Amino acid sequence: MLTSRFNPNNTFFDFAKVFDNYPHINEENSISAFMPKVNTIEDETAYHIMIDLPGVKKDDINIDLNENILTVYGSREYKQETKKEDYYKLESSFGKFQRAFSLPENIDSDNITASNDNGVLEIIVPKKQQVENKKKIEIK
């Protein structure tokens, strides 16, 4: 038996647990409980998008670009061999996820790269090289 310190507010927390399984993660067309965290950085040459995807395999991640909307989607699968009743606490989220990013017009879409290292997906969206369209016109 696990011991814990008495907290009179636990009654309210126990009531809140009723909603923990709503909507059910395994149901088709349900709202996903898994929403990965995102960090974005812009430097002089590119936009960097870092998405926390711990436990998500490379083959379970998809990246699409359509009309300057970059969409990252996939799923984080729940390990079925462990029964839910065996957990003392289950805080990890599982299910399908999708994040979309509106990109500016100055991107080089042919050279976008992505890498997955230690559970962090990094997408590098290079900027197009600025062409100097300025020209000095001599007056005659």
- pTM comes to 0.64
Residue at 14 is within a domain: no
Residue at 24 is within a domain: no
Domain, as residue range, for 51: 33-126
Q: What is the pLDDT of residues 97-124, one digit of tens each?
A: 899 999 999 999 999 999 999 999 999 9
* Alpha helix segments (H runs only) across 6-91: 10-16
pLDDT band at 29 (very low <50, low <70, confident <90, very high): very low
Contact criterion met (CB below 8 Å) for 53 and 121: yes
pLDDT at 32: 52
In the structure encoding, which two tokens stand for residue 32, read together? Answer: 């996903």
In the structure encoding, which two tokens stand for residue 77, read together? Answer: 């699968």
Residue at 103 is within a domain: yes
Work out whether the CA dihedral 16, 96, 66, 63 comes out positive or negative: positive
Give CA torsion, residues 41, 33, 121, 125, to 10 deg.
Answer: -50
Determine what percent of the chain is predicted with pLDDT higher than 90. 44
DSSP state of 107: B
What is the Cα–Cα distance from 63 to 101, expressed in whole angstroms? 11
pLDDT at 27: 43
Is pLDDT larger for residue 64 or for residue 26? 64
Residue at 39 is within a domain: yes
Largest CA distance in the chain: 95
pLDDT at 24 over 70: no
Determine what percent of the chain is predicted with pLDDT higher than 70. 64
